[in-house]
Structure 1
Amino acid sequence: MPRFHCPLPLAADAQLTLPPTAARHVQVLRLQPGDAVTLFNGEGGEWSATVTHMGRSDVQVQVGSHSAVEREAARAVHLVVGMPANERMDWLVEKATELGAASIQPIAAARSVLKLSGERAAKRQQHWQAIAVAACEQCGRNRVPSVHAPLSLADWLRQPPADALAPDAARLLLSLRSGSRPLREAAAEAGAVWVLHGPEGGLTAQEEDAALAQGFAPASLGARVLRAETASVAALALLGLA
């Protein structure tokens, strides 16, 4: 059954007009009045609904019953990622969403190829958030991970989210340096996990030192050097799949 993100208040028996993006998807699929769809607004669970009207630019539905089903990972895994260039960040956001990432924080580091600021950064954030929404529609998640505005690594380390500083949170730096513990072992006793890694070329030694000084612990995905987008997917597969 087609699933659509509908960031509106939803209630049984409500009649509503779908937001433009969802309406366009309904039209592309050539659904007709009487066809069943599933709606979710990111606040928990999903709703059955029936198409009642197909206009030239608007689609109306009647909301049915609510199901409290959730398909989230057993624990929250947050990514703090050095942005890979070109379409690789798009791919990272899509696959991270499918694998259950709780949030994605793009960062610019010394070796970053992709540099964003101002209006260009805002547009790219919106683009990535839309990719996360589409991935949720496809994979069945009812809660959309936040893709935050890009920041420099220094700015993020200076003021991380309060949740990252919780006593049961693990802050892990993917690193090839000697003494790094296997990722799964390093996160074994943690509640939420924050995984930091660099862009193409990795973080510099100075950037790794800055992260360690802010409470990150070095962790390893093994002896092989992975691309930035592969590292995110591998970390989520180890920590997030349930």
Structure 2
Amino acid sequence: MQPVITHPWDISETEALRLQQSLAAKVIKEDQFNEIKLVAGVDVAYAKESDKLVAAVVILDAATLEVIETATATDNAQFPYIPGLFSFRELPPLIKAFDQLQHTPDLIICDGQGYAHPRRFGLACHLGVIFDVPTIGCGKTRLLGKHQEPDKERGAVAPLIDNDEVIGNVLRTQTNINPTYVSIGHRFSLATACEWILNLSPKYRLPETTRQADQAVRKALSH
């Protein structure tokens, strides 16, 4: 699986900001996908005391949530650690991992932000646009925006708002458990994104895609 849009990664902060703004214009905010049979989770972990990154892509059956395939890749960080520009650091090893896959996912869930980003272009958007694949951002923490607390029941949502714009939803995936922060990545509406995150989170706070990708990077880092 190869990106349909390529660009350099070893660039300056100013160039990255400019590129982010131009690519953000390509984000599609409504549902544009076919039947979703395979879903992927992605995660990137940082090695201690080195600039090594480990990326994992795990593909699951969308109906059973059974793991179909796992790919991992290591890389050296090409871009500095700058908040709001993490995708420039984390996507190169993820692209390497995607290149190894035998299956092509119909939907990718990112452990982090999509549209809920200062320039509306977090990792989920960047990944979705360069691969032209439907993506969703589902973060454990809020990057920006304000919200009311959603009700305590599973499925409750509250809008995440920044500058009078709804940039995501605060979604309760399990009753009486801390919510997640869901935003669109690419080719997905916010309402459909929340439906899918609930489907992928039958037992735990985080979607099974994220849990499996996290386990895969931890395993790869320990070797």
Structure with the larger helix share:
1
TM-score (norm 1): 0.27
The structure number with the bigger radius of gyration is: 1
